[in-house]
Structure 1
Amino acid sequence: MPANKAQRRLSSITDAAVEYGVHHSTIRRYISAGRITGYRFGPRMLRVDLDELDALLRPLATAKRGA
């Protein structure tokens, strides 16, 4: 593998759901909607890239104190 190629952090759908505190159906829905990429290995094994899930995280706006 070339040194400049980014390493993927692949995880099962179940493990990714546990990691992010969502239901596994949510991960499958994101794949179906095209929000993240699903990677298939063989006829049944499906993996997702945790970096793609990280990219979906957005910080919440907070109220400024003393304004």
Structure 2
Amino acid sequence: MKNPKEVHGQVRVTVILECTGCDKKSVNKESTGISRYITQKNRHNTPSRLELRKLCSRCCKHKIHAEIKK
């Protein structure tokens, strides 16, 4: 019998969180001036896009970091 995780894919996925405040100010999205975090989320518990308040290294303030597409 196969493992349920192997049949339906992985439950935990790696996501990238990007600062929403710096994202609006920046013209070039690929620049290194945007604060980004890499984390994991559980697809069953959090099916929608993940948003967390994290410290923005560029602004030096706690701002909302939202999940972006890879």
Fold shared by both chains (TM-score > 0.5): no
Instruction: Pick the structure with more strand per residue.
Output: 2
Q: TM-score, normalised by structure 1?
A: 0.31
TM-score, normalising length: structure 2: 0.30
